[in-house]
Each structure stands twice: as structure tokens, then as C-alpha cells.
Structure 1
């Protein structure tokens, strides 16, 4: 996704790197098409941290603003938004010194040229009384053969840039830390000289002078394994041996200052030697990732890319995308790909399936609850109706008997005019009706039809008006 910040834009899918306080993206100045590095810092993260973190970010910005030198990464702009702080700096397309050292071992002459350029950058820092405190190959960026000091997150501006101004804060990367920092002792600007010397040793020999699993073990090795013994193991010039022996002196007061370091560099025979071009890192993935993105290339640049180059760049973009996805889902992927454990894979798939179903169920719960309440009420109503019906059915014979007695009484009131045949007809009718109510198998006979078939015309007509309505009420 393309993001526009002021006059700068970048693609948020492609990240050049990620630090403790934010991410770095490759962007572009929309006014002049210059590629830039955009450091994105989450303001919410800053608010949650202590004042020391905030001060680090402020210090980095102030230091970048002060410095203007080819061997120091150039500050371009600062943009503050409600959600993020954006620090826009010079983009170094050739990676960093760490990448270069991972690809090949530099010759002594090549290493000296890198050393010289770093020292030139420190001459600028010295003017502004700045101590870097985190110098390491990863913080030395490369752009067109120019080596630039970067990442001033731990840097500090001191009032009196001298060996008597001592600091106490423990910052930096252990392998490049001066022994004073490893031992939690006071230190001064000469800690950067120690770090520079370790980098120079690593460039020449292809490895670090001391290795250990923790800072205390590293300090013990530094104190017990003199650097001179390590220097004798390699074939290096007298200058490099002398320079490393002096700059890797454990005692800070005996370690050279920056003026003496510059003097040693300028008087070195290597300064007069023919310098080969410093090799650049072969991996250009950081550059390519956003060079092909819409936010960082003009139409003319895209048209100028050869088909084979375009294909490779697209492949890099795709691989980077996969890496980002793998990083985000690292734990799940590791579990899924752990050996040939079929049961584990099955359990993983089932758990995912259950998770999806659970999420669907959560969405349906309110509706299910409403339906449940409706059915509970419905069953309650049905139960009440059933009980009512049971009561009515249980009482049916009694009701029938009551009706029979009631209407028989009505008929008996007219016995003086009632023939014996009529009483038999009435009795037969009532018995038939009672059986129908009880068993429900037959249909009740019609009283009028029964009476008319068995009574003479006189009896039928005499009592028809009296009994018809009352007796037929039972059928109804």
C-alpha cells in the first residue's frame, strides 16, 4: 500500500529494516524523484515508554540536523503526525558494511579505505562533540562506494569533548563495546575508537578479535587474551599491526584520541598506495524492492528496465512478500512443518477448523439465543395447553353423565304426557351419545330421526317441541 507523507511517499509492504522503535521504508521525494529512507516511529509506542526512549529519538534528530558530511548519512526532513513520527534521511542503495563482510573478505587496502572514510565522518562528529556509542558494521551504510556513519539512536552530545568527561550509560553492541562499557565503568569518546578498531580487525581478518556467549565472558577474554598475540597470527602490514595494537589498548588513557588516529591514518603508507575500487554488496534486494514499486519509480524508469532485470526484480518482490508472511506466521508454520508428525498436522488443521467454526458460532449466538427463548416459551405454552386438554378429557365422562341426567330430568317433567315408547327412544339415544363421547369411534345418531322411526305421529309431535332443542344441544 502506498503511503503519502508530506511530499514523500513509500510502499508499506516493503521494509528495509526494523529497529527497536520503528521500521525503515524506501521512499521517494515526489518533487525531485530522489530516493530516500523513511524511518517510521509509532507515537503510541513512545508514549508508553519512559522519558529515556523519547530523549533518544530527540537526540538522534538533533544530531542528524547538526551534521553535514559525505561520510555521515544526510538528514532530509522530519514529519510529525498524530500516529507516527517520520524521519526522512538519505537512502544508501548499496546496503551496509555488515552485508559486504558477509559476502567477502576485504583486502587490507580495501579495509584501510573503509577505515579512512569512517574516520573522516568522525572528524565531523568531533566538531559537534558527538559520541556515537553504537559503531558497528551494520551502522555503516554504503552508497556508490561512499561509506557513511548511520543510526545515532545511542549517540550523545557532550558539553566537553575530552577524555575527562566520563559517561556511565551502558549502550551499544557487546562485540564492539570498549572494555569500560562491558565492565560497567565510566568511559569517554574513546569508546568509539575501540569500536572502530574492532571493525578494522574484522575487515582484515574476516572475524572478530574476541568471541563469547555473554558480555562478562567477553570482557574476561579481552583482559586475558592480548591483542598482540592475535595480530601475530595474520600477515598484515606494520601500519595495521601498529594501529590495532594502539587503538585496542584496554586502558583508555593510553588509547589514542581522534587527532592521533587521524595523524596515523594520514601518515600511513597505505594512503599513498593505488586504491582499488571498494567492492559493493552483491545483494541489491533492498534497492530493487521499491525501485519497481509504483511509489518509487517514474514511468520512464520502468520502461528502461530490461525484461530479464524486471523478471528478477519481480521475483525478489514475491520472495520478500513470502518472507514477510512467514515472519508474521512463524510459530504456526514451524508447528505445521515439524517433521513428519501426521497427527500434529491433523491437530493443527482441526484446531484451525474449530477456530473458524467457533468464530461463526459467536456471530450466530445472539440469534440462537432469541430462538431458544422463543422455543422455551412455545414449549411452556404447549405444556399448559396439554394440561388443559388432559383436564377436559378426564372430565368428559362426568360431563356427559351430568348432561344425561339433566335432560332426562327435563323429559321426566312431562311423564304424564310421555308414552313408554318415547322413554325407550330417549334412553337409547342417550346411551348412544354417551358411548360416542367416551370412545369417539362412531358418529352420534340424530334424535329426531331415531324418534320419528320408532314413535307414532302423535307422540313425536307432542314432545318434539319440548325436547328437540335440549337434546340436540348435547350433539352440538
Structure 2
């Protein structure tokens, strides 16, 4: 359950989140069961996901093995493709929003930054939002962008699952943005087995 005080700055995002969650029904996306509000608070009741989040496992294990990373990536992709097919761009894919249910499957949560109305592959928007490590370069540059920004974030999450840190790492947000725009990262090929490394790229 999420609870927010009436008039809080986050209320607008949560109301948008409720509208989006009311439209979706997919095993890889968290389900909204009911929402209501009182004079002081806004509530919404969702699935109870008791397997923890990807952030927890990365913090505990540093990084994940290749098969597990591949499995999670495939399920995240299924969730994103479902959203995109309904004209929704997620815009906040990060380990904190990737939950894992009791069966070990991925469930994406938190649609407060998501945007509707992007119908078609070329539909664009221009709002600047996202989390520094995972935001796409076109968002940083203030350019119009498509739903493809979610795939950029997915690539960042996959890298973090394999190596334990985001590819564009820094303690300073502006330095993170600079690295993203310059595509300044490296891959230690020796740390990845031939199982998922082929001709200089992940497979």
C-alpha cells in the first residue's frame, strides 16, 4: 500500500500513477486493486510482492550471474513492451523499481514518472525526468525522445546486474550526465564468460 498526504507535491505523480495502473494488466507489472482517499490522505492498494527488490539483491550479492541477469532482462523487456504497446513510456527503470515476487519473477513498480499518449514508434515527448544513473542522453540534452529511452535504461540495469555498478558511475550528478552524453564507459570482457560474450558484445 502507498499512502500520501493530501496536498503533497508527489500527489500529482501518484494520481497519474493510479490512472496508468488502472489501464494495465500484465504479470510483469504491479497490479492496482483499489485506490481511495480521505480528507487527509490518498491510498492505493497493490499486489504484495514479498521477494524483495533487485536493488536489495545487488547490494547483498554485488552482482548477479549471467543466466539470472539474462532471465531478469527478458522479463523486464516483456513488461516494457506491454507498456509501449499501450502508448506508455516508463521513464524510471532502475533496480529500486524492479521487484521480485515469491516465484522469482520480475514485477515493475512505480509509474509516477510514466507518460501516456505515445502511440506509434515515432511518438515523442520532451519532459526532463528520470534517475541520474539510468537516464538516456537525449533526456539530459533536453531533446525530444521516444519510448526507446526505456531500452537505454534497461541496458544500464543489465550492465549493473553483471558488474555490480552502473556503467556511468560517479559520486557527482553532473559528472554522471557528462559520462552518459559522452558514452564514457568500459567493459571488462575478462569478467564475462563466453556464454554471453560474442564478437565484442553481450548476447
Structure 1 and Structure 2 fold alike (TM over 0.5): yes
Matched, 1:61 2:24: no
Matched, 1:119 2:66: no
Q: In 2 relative to 1, CA 58–234 (structure 1 residues): closer, same or farther, beyond 3 Å?
A: same
Secondary structure of the equivalent of 2:3?
Answer: strand
Match of 2:45?
88
Q: Measure the CA separation in 2 of the matches of 1:240 and 1:89.
A: 43
Say which of 39, 45, 52 aligns to 2:2.
Answer: 39
* Structure with the larger RCO, 1 or 2 (CA within 8 Å, 6+ apart): 2
Detail structure 1 runs of 4+ shifted over 6 Å in the superposition. Answer: none
Q: In 2 relative to 1, CA 167–214 (structure 1 residues): closer, same or farther, beyond 3 Å?
A: farther
Cα offset, 1:117, TM superposition: 1.0
Secondary structure of the equivalent of 1:157?
Answer: coil
Match of 2:97?
139
RMSD: 2.1
The Cα offsets for residues 71-125 of structure 1, whole Å up to 9 and x where unpaired, read as 1111110112111111100011111000011111211011001111111111221
Match of 1:149?
108
Equivalent pair of 2:89/2:147 in contact (CA under 8 Å): yes
Q: Measure the CA separation in 2 of the matches of 1:100 and 1:148.
A: 14
From the CA coordinates, give the structure whose radius of gyration is larger. 1
- TM-score (normalizing by structure 1): 0.39
Matched, 1:216 2:174: yes
Where structure 2 has 5 or more consecutive residues not aligned to the other structure, the ranges are none
Match of 2:187?
230
Where structure 1 has 5 or more consecutive residues not aligned to the other structure, the ranges are 1-37, 244-267, 269-476
User: Aligned pairs, how many?
Assistant: 199
Q: Measure the CA separation in 1 of the matches of 2:146 and 2:53.
A: 26
Q: Measure the CA separation in 2 of the matches of 1:188 and 1:139.
A: 21
Say which of 153, 158, 176 aligns to 2:117.
Answer: 158
Q: Structure 2 matches for 1:431-442, cutoff 5 A?
A: none
Equivalent pair of 2:3/2:42 in contact (CA under 8 Å): yes
- TM-score (normalizing by structure 2): 0.88
Equivalent pair of 2:21/2:32 in contact (CA under 8 Å): yes
Q: Measure the CA separation in 1 of the matches of 2:199 and 2:109.
A: 25
Q: Measure the CA separation in 2 of the matches of 1:225 and 1:147.
A: 28
Which structure's residues are more often helix, by fraction? 1
The Cα offsets for residues 19-66 of structure 1, whole Å up to 9 and x where unpaired, read as xxxxxxxxxxxxxxxxxxx11111132xxx4xxx55422220011111
Q: In 2 relative to 1, CA 223–123 (structure 1 residues): closer, same or farther, beyond 3 Å?
A: closer
